[in-house]
């Protein structure tokens, strides 16, 4: 792939900026990596491993100067669903397959098509993910015990109600302190790393004033090892590939969307320095193939961390590499201290992440439109929450396509008229012949073919010698449109009416020739 010279601005002065930016992002990434891993149903260290490995590889191989990759909130529902149904080992297989899909997407230049994903679908499933993340942290916020992770939203809500009697006041106090930090700190000390403070302050309070009174990373997961895991290939078999290809494809599609959106945000913040979408998919694919080899979970470009990277003064991808190395250093030096972190202190952090990603304003605006897009939004949202992300995206996208086709169908305009051979003199047309003309403007494709055919049938109910289709305004033509033109020819031929095609654009005529319809109609009937 083409090297974009992403490191071209790197020198001694800019390197210092990148190092400081990388450390700043690393401080933000550590609590998020652990929180996202726990919310995904795996051990917190797996989020740290993903932050280190994916962050480094995307910095080296991606298409953006500023992209920061790692575990993100968007993946939580789909990863948790895989863990619940298949287990952690198969999550590694799904993550590896997702990486393969992303690499294939990069070579197929799918990155250029990402802008065609309907906005209503994107906002719908993002809001659905946000609801899933937020409600998934209620148990930790309240310190409930015995709450089992379930596959469906209503089952998880019932689990909360069933175990509400196990409410832990110490956990609630700890979570409340973290929430207060999140609300107050940006107003009085905006430069202090918010997520780290929201993690450390409640932890210190719980250790000093009520140790051992609430679940921690240590009691729940046994602490975090001070090392990266050994290299190990996931057990990939043909049966597992057939079983996991669909969730893996969803991971890849979701990762592609979020990564490229993050890259676009970075481009805008950095004053128009354009990233390469397909190179970014390649880097994300390699990263997702590598992280499972060290126990990591799927990763993607993280919008919030990427924005933090730019605000901190990053100049080149060096900052992304520094972020990964800084997180690794913290893992090697301070991992044992993580065992004291209360699970309740993670809850407000993830709730804030859910709130930020919910896109509430955009959701309300589209809902108020009360159009097909509103229906797409709500269907995608509700299915994402009450069924799963896979079904929500698939049905939402299908519905969006149907809405689009309906809109496009309304853009086909057909204006009938009458004329005589005195107005149009063509060889072989007797003078005084009765012409029936139909001007066609807009797209003629499978979605508008039936409308076209009905209008032709209606026009041929009145006797005529010649039917002339005036196609100067034809904006699009596909195989369905060619079939509709063939229908018009056959219907006219059965009634002894001559069909003339006038002014068809040259680029559309190519498809007519390839289909064989040009010869069927006859060159003498294709007029300018």
CATH number, residue 505:
3.30.750.24
Find the mean pLDDT for residues 286-297.
95
- The predicted model gives 22-47 an average pLDDT of 91
Residue 436 lies in a domain: yes
pLDDT confidence band for 266 (50 / 70 / 90): confident
Same domain for 427 and 304: no
Do 342 and 427 lie in a common domain?
no
* pLDDT at residue 3, rounded to an integer: 45
Q: Are strands 69-70 and 300-301 parallel, antiparallel or unpaired?
A: antiparallel
On whether both 115 and 196 belong to a single domain, the answer is yes
pLDDT class for 417, splitting at 50, 70, 90? confident
Is 280:45 a contact under the CB 8 Å cutoff? no
In this prediction, residue 328 has a pLDDT band, given cuts at 50, 70 and 90, of very high
In this prediction, residue 2 carries a pLDDT of 47
pLDDT higher at 161 or 270: 161
What is the reported pLDDT for 43?
92
Read off the pLDDT of each residue in 34-63 and give the average, rounded to a whole number: 93
Q: Is residue 178 a contact partner of residue 198, using CB atoms and an 8 Å limit?
A: yes
Do both 176 and 62 map to the same domain?
Answer: yes
The reported pLDDT for the residue numbered 272 is 61
In this prediction, residue 427 carries a pLDDT of 54
Residue 405 lies in a domain: no
The pLDDT assigned to 273 comes to 64
Are residues 234 and 90 located together in one domain of the fold? yes
Domain boundary among 349, 376, 399: 399
**pLDDT over 90 for what percent of the chain?**
42
Assign 435 to helix, strand or coil: strand
Query: What is the pLDDT at residue 294?
Result: 93
pTM: 0.77
| Long-range contacts, 355-362 (Cβ 8 Å, 24+) | 355/130, 355/134, 356/304, 357/73, 357/74, 357/126, 357/129, 357/130, 357/133, 358/126, 358/127, 358/130, 358/131, 359/123, 359/126, 359/127, 359/130, 360/127, 362/119, 362/123
Environment class of 190 (CB within 10 Å of its CB; exposed 0-12, middle 13-18, buried 19+): exposed
CB of 247 closer than 8 Å to CB of 82:
yes
Tell me which of 272 and 119 has the higher pLDDT. Answer: 119
Same domain flag for 394 and 437: no
Residues 418 and 375 both lie in one domain: no
pLDDT digits (tens, 9 = 90+) for 469-485: 989 889 888 888 899 99
Residue 512 burial (CB < 10 Å; 0-12/13-18/19+)? buried
- Write down the pLDDT at residue 118: 84
Q: What is the pLDDT of residues 335-390, one digit of tens each?
A: 888 889 999 999 999 899 889 888 888 899 989 888 888 999 999 999 999 988 87
Whether 513 shows a pLDDT value over 60: the answer reads yes
Query: pLDDT confidence of 91, banded at 50, 70, 90?
Result: very high
In this predicted structure, which of 238-247, 407-416, 418-427 has the lowest mean pLDDT?
A: 418-427
Classify residue 4: in a domain, yes or no.
no
pLDDT band at 177 (very low <50, low <70, confident <90, very high): very high
Does residue 214 sit in the same domain as residue 333?
yes
Examine residue 511 and state whether it is found in any structural domain, yes or no: yes
Lowest mean pLDDT among 92-106, 123-137, 380-394, 420-434: 420-434
418 with 324, same domain?
Answer: no
pLDDT above 70 (res 29): yes
Q: Which of 53-57, 153-157, 283-287, 413-417 has the lowest mean pLDDT?
A: 413-417
Q: Give the pLDDT band (50/70/90) at residue 117.
A: confident
What are the tokens at 40? 């995904």
Pick the residue with more confidence: 269 or 11? Answer: 269
* Mean predicted confidence (pLDDT) in 216-232: 85
Give CA–CA dist 319/309, Å, rounded: 7
| Residue 182 forms part of a structural domain | yes
In this prediction, residue 7 has a pLDDT band, given cuts at 50, 70 and 90, of low
Residues 181 and 224 in one domain: yes
Average pLDDT for the chain: 88
If asked whether residues 395 and 418 sit together in one domain, one would say: no
Model confidence band, residue 23 (pLDDT cutoffs 50, 70, 90): very high
Residue 311 domain-assigned (yes or no): yes
Q: What six digits make up the tokens of 512? A: 């007519």
What's the pLDDT band for 103 if we cut at 50, 70, 90? very high
Whole domain around residue 269: which residue ranges? 12-399
pLDDT confidence tier of residue 1, bands split at 50, 70 and 90: very low
Does some domain include residue 446?
Answer: yes
Query: At residue 409, does pLDDT exceed 80?
Result: no
Q: How many other C-beta atoms lie within 10 A of the C-beta of residue 117?
A: 17
pLDDT by residue (tens digit) across 444-461? Answer: 888 888 889 998 999 888
pLDDT top residue among 164 and 271: 164
**pLDDT tier for residue 418 given thresholds of 50, 70 and 90:** low
Residue 90: per-residue pLDDT: 94
Could you give the percent of the chain with pLDDT greater than 70?
95
State which of 373, 399, 425 marks the end of a domain.
Answer: 399
Position 150 in a domain: yes
Last residue of a domain, one of 342, 366, 399: 399
| CB-based contact 260:114 (threshold 8 Å) | yes
Kindly tell me if the per-residue pLDDT of 403 is higher than 90.
no
Q: How many domains does the chain have?
A: 2
pLDDT in tens, 295-313: 999 999 988 888 888 888 8
Query: What local confidence, expressed as pLDDT, does residue 51 receive?
Result: 95
239 CB neighbour count, 10 Å cutoff: 8
Q: Is the pLDDT of residue 134 over 70?
A: yes
If asked whether residues 240 and 288 sit together in one domain, one would say yes
């Amino acid at each position: 792939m083409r090297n974009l010279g992403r490191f071209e601005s790197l020198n001694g002065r800019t390197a210092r900026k990148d190092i400081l930016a990388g450390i700043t992002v690393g401080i933000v990434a550590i609590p998020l990596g652990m929180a996202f891993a726990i919310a995904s149903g795996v051990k917190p260290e797996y989020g740290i491993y993903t932050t280190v490995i994916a962050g480094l590889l995307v910095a080296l191989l991606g298409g953006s100067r500023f992209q920061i990759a790692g575990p993100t909130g968007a993946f939580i529902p789909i990863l948790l669903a895989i863990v619940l149904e298949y287990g952690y080992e198969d999550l590694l297989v799904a993550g590896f397959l997702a990486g393969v899909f992303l690499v294939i997407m990069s070579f197929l230049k799918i990155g250029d098509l990402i802008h065609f994903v309907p906005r209503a679908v994107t906002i719908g499933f993002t809001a659905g993910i946000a609801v899933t993340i937020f409600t998934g942290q209620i148990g930790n916020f309240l310190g409930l015990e015995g709450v089992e992770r379930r596959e469906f939203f209503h089952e998880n809500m019932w689990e909360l109600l069933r175990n509400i009697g196990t409410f832990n006041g110490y956990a609630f106090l700890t979570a409340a302190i973290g929430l207060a930090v999140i609300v107050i700190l940006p107003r009085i000390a905006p430069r202090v790393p918010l997520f780290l403070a929201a993690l450390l302050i409640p932890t210190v309070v719980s250790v000093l004033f009520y140790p051992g009174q609430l679940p921690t990373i240590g009691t729940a997961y046994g602490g975090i090892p001070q090392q990266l895991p050994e290299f190990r290939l996931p057990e990939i078999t043909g049966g597992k590939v057939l079983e996991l290809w669909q969730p893996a494809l969803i991971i890849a599609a979701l990762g592609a969307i979020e990564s490229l959106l993050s890259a676009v945000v970075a481009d805008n913040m950095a004053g128009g320095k354009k990233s390469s979408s397909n190179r970014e998919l390649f880097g994300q694919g390699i990263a997702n193939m590598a992280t499972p080899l060290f126990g990591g979970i799927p990763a993607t470009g993280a919008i919030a961390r990427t924005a933090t990277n730019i605000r901190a003064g990053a100049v080149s991808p060096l900052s992304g590499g520094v972020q990964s190395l800084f997180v690794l250093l913290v893992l090697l030096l301070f991992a044992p201290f993580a065992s004291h972190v209360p699970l309740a202190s993670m809850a407000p952090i993830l709730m804030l992440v859910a709130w930020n990603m919910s896109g509430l304003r955009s959701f309300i605006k589209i809902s108020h439109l009360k159009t097909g897009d509103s229906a797409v939004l709500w269907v995608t949202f509700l299915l994402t929450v009450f069924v799963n992300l896979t079904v929500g995206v698939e049905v939402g996208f299908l519905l969006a396509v149907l809405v689009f086709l309906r809109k496009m169908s309304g853009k086909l305009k057909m204006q009938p008229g009458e004329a005589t051979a005195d107005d149009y003199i063509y060889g072989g047309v007797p003078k005084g012949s009765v012409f029936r003309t139909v001007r066609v403007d807009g797209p003629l494709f499978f979605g508008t073919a039936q409308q076209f055919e009905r209008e032709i049938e209606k026009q041929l109910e009145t006797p005529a010698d010649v039917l002339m289709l005036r196609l100067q305004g034809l904006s699009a033509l596909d195989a369905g449109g060619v079939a509709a033109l063939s229908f018009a020819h056959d219907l006219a031929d059965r009634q002894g009416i001559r069909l003339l095609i006038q002014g068809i654009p040259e680029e559309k005529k190519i498809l007519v020739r390839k289909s064989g319809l040009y010869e069927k109609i006859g060159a003498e009937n294709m007029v300018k």
